[in-house]
């Protein structure tokens, strides 16, 4: 099979991924093998390639938003999986026995495995995954449009879950989204469908404004030089998708008393000191670590009901370096997706 392999960690602009011909992987017990049709390109892939996260698999193949058809199964796996269109996401496997797994918080399992990081991922023509961790995909989403749902969508969905305590609180909720990339362009649709009033903050207001307003934003604001979000009124909740810790204090400053700040990235630069006054009014900070399978199932069902529209820029597999470099420079509109099979 062909695969884009990370043999060295370096800036995406230096094209560190190499196209190689590798042996097809064989599914192990309980696994399925997916003939990959599409794979989303995520900021987490960029963190792996550029060295913010260490390389932890050999071969090191990024990619964790996989859409394709099951073409083989391992020992003990139900053969009816063969031929099904499925998605594989970041969370690939958990131990199933620790207290976090037992409490329905498998996203915190300390022995978890991750597609495209600890296991070879979807920048390849074939990939293997445990059958228990793949998703059957809604019919309404073509392959390329389905790929961003599998990380950008699921993680955004989990981030939104921390913004309120009850579903009825969404109506009229004043929500801010900091950063308007792949995850935010899905999250805004979910939040808007629930009744929230969404303000988008981005450093690229001129190139992002039209898309944000079209997807339901009531306001699109800039980040000022001191990283303070500028815009009208206080906010009940803010979700930060941007990987910059510098936006945390000014985002807290925009919250109303009792407001919630949710940090949705796997990697973020260090935050500057937080003045106590920013926390004093019972504002809360919540991070997001991975997702559970229940998050994935619930999000895919809600995305189909809305229905969510994903906006994608498509690249061939061999152009994965270009896709990552474009992501790094912030010039992708919506989500980048590799067309593979």
pLDDT in tens, 285-329: 999 999 999 999 999 999 999 999 999 999 999 999 999 999 999
Q: What pLDDT score was predicted for residue 224? A: 61
Q: What pLDDT score was predicted for residue 24? A: 98
- Domain 2-150+307-339 and domain 163-287 have a common topology: no
Cβ atoms of residues 264 and 288 within 8 Å: yes
Tokens coding 292: 């559970």
Largest CA distance in the chain: 59
Q: What pLDDT score was predicted for residue 203? A: 85
Domain 2-150+307-339 sits in CATH 3.20.20.10: no
Domain ranges of the chain: 2-150+307-339, 163-287
What SS3 state is found at 246?
Answer: helix
Q: What pLDDT score was predicted for residue 226? A: 54
Cβ atoms of residues 31 and 79 within 8 Å: no
Tokens coding 158: 């989990």
Tell me the C-alpha distance between 63 and 90, whole Å.
8
Name the strands in the sheet holding 284-287, side by side, starting at the edge strand that comes first in the sequence. Answer: 219-222, 197-202, 174-178, 235-240, 255-263, 284-287
Q: What pLDDT score was predicted for residue 223? A: 58
Q: What pLDDT digit, counting tens, does each position of 39-92 carry? A: 999 999 999 999 999 999 989 999 999 999 999 999 999 999 999 999 999 999
Which of these, 211, 230, 158, 147, lies nearest to 187 by C-alpha position? 158
Residue ranges in the chain whose pLDDT is less than 50: 225, 227, 232
Helix (H) or strand (E) holding 260: strand 255-263
Q: What pLDDT score was predicted for residue 145? A: 97
Which of these, 221, 224, 278, 273, lies nearest to 245 by C-alpha position? 273
Q: What pLDDT score was predicted for residue 289? A: 95
**Cβ atoms within 10 Å, residue 280:** 9
The residue whose two tokens read 């308007």 is 180
Tell me the C-alpha distance between 262 and 148, whole Å.
20
Which of these, 195, 273, 284, 287, lies nearest to 241 by C-alpha position? 287
Tokens coding 297: 């199932």
In sequence order, what DSSP letters do the residues of 289-306 get, joined into one string?
-S--HHHHHHHHHHHHHT
**Domain 163-287, CATH among 3.40.50.720, 3.40.50.280, 2.60.34.10, 1.10.1030.10:** 3.40.50.720
């Amino acid at each position: 099979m062909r695969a884009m392999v990370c043999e060295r960690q370096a800036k995406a602009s230096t094209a560190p991924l190499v196209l190689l011909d590798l042996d097809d992987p064989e599914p192990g017990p309980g696994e399925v093998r997916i003939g990959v049709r599409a794979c989303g390109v995520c900021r987490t892939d960029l963190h792996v390639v550029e060295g913010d996260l260490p390389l932890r698999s050999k071969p090191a193949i990024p990619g964790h938003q996989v859409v394709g058809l099951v073409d083989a199964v391992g020992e003990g796996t139900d053969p009816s999986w063969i031929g099904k269109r499925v998605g594989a996401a970041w969370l690939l496997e958990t131990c199933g026995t620790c207290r976090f797994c037992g409490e329905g918080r498998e996203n915190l399992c300390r022995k978890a495995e991750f597609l495209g990081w600890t296991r070879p991922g979807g920048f390849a023509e074939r990939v293997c995954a445990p059958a228990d961790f793949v998703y059957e995909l809604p019919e309404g989403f073509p392959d390329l449009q389905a790929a961003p749902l599998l990380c950008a969508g699921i993680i955004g969905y989990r981030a939104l879950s921390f913004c309120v305590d009850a579903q009825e609180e969404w109506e009229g909720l004043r929500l801010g989204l900091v950063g308007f990339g792949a995850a935010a362009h899905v999250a805004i649709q979910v939040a808007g469908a629930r009744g929230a009033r969404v303000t988008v903050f981005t450093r690229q207001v001129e190139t992002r404004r039209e898309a944000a307003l079209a997807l339901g934003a009531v306001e699109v604001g800039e980040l000022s030089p001191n990283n303070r979000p500028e815009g009208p009124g206080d906010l009940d909740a803010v979700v930060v998708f941007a990987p910059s810790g510098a936006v945390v204090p000014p985002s807290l400053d925009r919250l109303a008393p009792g407001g919630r700040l949710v940090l949705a990235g796997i990697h973020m630069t260090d935050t500057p000191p937080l003045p106590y006054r920013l926390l004093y009014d019972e504002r809360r900070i919540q991070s997001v670590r991975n997702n559970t399978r229940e998050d994935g199932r619930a999000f895919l069902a809600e995305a189909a009901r809305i229905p969510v529209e994903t906006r994608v820029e498509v690249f061939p597999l061999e152009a994965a370096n270009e896709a990552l470099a474009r992501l790094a420079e912030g010039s992708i509109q919506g989500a980048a997706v590799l067309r593979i099979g």
